[in-house]
């Protein structure tokens, strides 16, 4: 006999741009919103009964409608506002999950002066949030950054590793270390936070440690980066880092009668090493 297990449904990749006008100065945001409900939806799966299903198209419209009047200044605040609305208006739903990615638009600086209504994309990374709440409970908020592309050209080694008959990798005492990091951190449940300031402090601590760290492996650097973030930002209870090792392989110039004194490389991103860990207090 078959039975329904854990399930949810919702609307994914709802794209939203927002202008907040303060006289002649504007703020600009670009968000991608994903919203999901869990709850008493079994009959829709097992009995073809849609009477408890809020259409996902309605969820999409709800995103835009809530955004119209929202005073939220951060993706964290908007995620909780949107989720609260959906849980209040769908009491048969046991919980809501809202995930948002925000592009890193920043104000353009012209001749040293911030432009009031002009913006540039600050980098490839995305600001992220994952907010989860069950009916009658407080929000659990996990903020982060995705696609944080960083690279150092020295202070990185990899030696002393296991070897077997299939090992061809040569030890390296001075190598390029590049990654596109995904980082998330968890706040204490229900605590009010300055999410923007915390994100800035976390990223600053991560980058400072990455630059200074004398790395013996990606694992070694990942742990010390997480440790530095926890020490710098007491508001977070843990931090999770995913750091693919985006390789730069030394090019073989010997067929051309040339040496290569750690000078010319071939960048590759597939296949790559994959290292992930959560650092906790």
Distance between terminal CA atoms of the chain?
Answer: 45
Shared-domain flag, residues 19 and 96 = yes
The residues annotated with a catalytic role in the active site are 11, 56, 247
Q: What is the pLDDT of residue 131?
A: 97
| Strands across the sheet containing 140-152 | 9-22, 25-39, 93-110, 113-134, 140-152, 177-187, 236-245, 273-280
Shared-domain flag, residues 268 and 156 = yes
For residues 278 and 242, is the Cβ–Cβ distance under 8 A? Answer: no
For residues 12 and 59, is the Cβ–Cβ distance under 8 A? Answer: no
Shared-domain flag, residues 85 and 190 = no
Q: What is the pLDDT of residue 190?
A: 73
Shared-domain flag, residues 71 and 152 = no
- Residue 119 forms part of a structural domain: yes
- Residue 142 forms part of a structural domain: no
Shared-domain flag, residues 80 and 197 = no
Q: Which of 137, 168, 186 is the last residue of a domain?
A: 137
Shared-domain flag, residues 99 and 153 = no
Q: What is the pLDDT of residue 143?
A: 97
CATH number at residue 33: 3.10.270.10
Q: What is the pLDDT of residue 188?
A: 85
- Residue 28 forms part of a structural domain: yes
- What's the rounded Cα separation, in Å, for the pair 223 and 241? 9
Shared-domain flag, residues 172 and 226 = yes
The SS3 call for residue 58 is helix
- What's the rounded Cα separation, in Å, for the pair 91 and 107? 41
- What's the rounded Cα separation, in Å, for the pair 144 and 119? 22
- Per the structure, the count of domains in the chain is 2
* CB atoms inside a 10 Å sphere around CB 78: 26
> pLDDT 10s digit of each residue in the chain, 281 long?
899 899 999 999 999 999 999 999 999 999 999 999 999 899 999 999 999 999 999 999 999 999 999 999 999 999 999 999 999 999 999 999 999 999 999 999 999 999 999 999 998 999 999 999 999 999 999 999 999 999 999 999 999 999 999 999 999 999 999 999 999 999 987 777 899 999 999 999 999 999 999 999 999 999 999 999 999 999 999 999 999 999 999 999 999 999 999 899 999 989 999 999 999 99
- Residue 71 forms part of a structural domain: yes
Q: What is the pLDDT of residue 232?
A: 97
Q: Which of 84, 102, 137 is the last residue of a domain?
A: 137
For residues 105 and 29, is the Cβ–Cβ distance under 8 A? Answer: yes
Q: Which of 109, 137, 165 is the last residue of a domain?
A: 137
Q: What is the pLDDT of residue 123?
A: 87
- What's the rounded Cα separation, in Å, for the pair 129 and 57? 22
241 lies in which domain range?
Answer: 148-280
pTM over 0.85: yes
Residue ranges in 34-165 assigned as alpha helix (H): 42-46, 56-69, 75-89
- Residue 128 forms part of a structural domain: yes
Q: What is the pLDDT of residue 82?
A: 98
Place of tokens 């259409």: 55
């Amino acid at each position: 006999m078959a039975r329904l297990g854990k399930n949810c449904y919702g609307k994914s990749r709802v794209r939203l741009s927002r202008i907040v006008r303060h006289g002649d100065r504007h703020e600009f945001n670009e968000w991608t919103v994903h919203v999901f409900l869990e709850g008493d939806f079994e009959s829709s799966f097992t009995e073809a009964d849609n009477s408890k299903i809020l259409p996902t198209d309605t969820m999409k419209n709800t995103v835009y409608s809530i955004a119209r009047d929202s005073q939220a200044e951060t993706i964290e605040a908007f995620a909780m506002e949107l989720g609260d609305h959906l849980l209040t208006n769908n009491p048969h739903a046991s919980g809501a999950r809202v995930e948002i990615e925000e592009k890193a638009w920043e104000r353009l600086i012209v001749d040293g002066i911030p432009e009031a209504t002009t913006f540039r994309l600050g980098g490839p990374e995305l600001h992220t949030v994952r907010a989860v709440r069950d009916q009658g409970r407080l929000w659990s908020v996990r903020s982060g950054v995705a696609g944080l592309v960083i690279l150092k050209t020295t202070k990185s080694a990899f030696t002393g590793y296991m070897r077997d008959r299939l090992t061809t990798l040569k030890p390296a005492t001075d190598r390029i270390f590049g990654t596109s990091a995904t980082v998330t951190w968890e706040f204490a449940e229900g605590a009010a936070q300055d999410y923007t300031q915390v994100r800035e402090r976390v990223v600053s601590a991560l980058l400072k440690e990455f630059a200074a760290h004398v790395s013996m492996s990606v694992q070694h650097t990942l742990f010390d980066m997480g440790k530095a973030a926890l020490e710098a930002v007491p508001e977070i209870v843990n931090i999770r880092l995913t750091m693919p090792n985006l390789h730069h392989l030394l090019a073989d110039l010997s067929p051309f009668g040339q040496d290569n004194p750690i000078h010319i490389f071939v960048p590759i991103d597939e296949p790559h090493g994959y290292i992930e860990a959560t650092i906790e207090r």
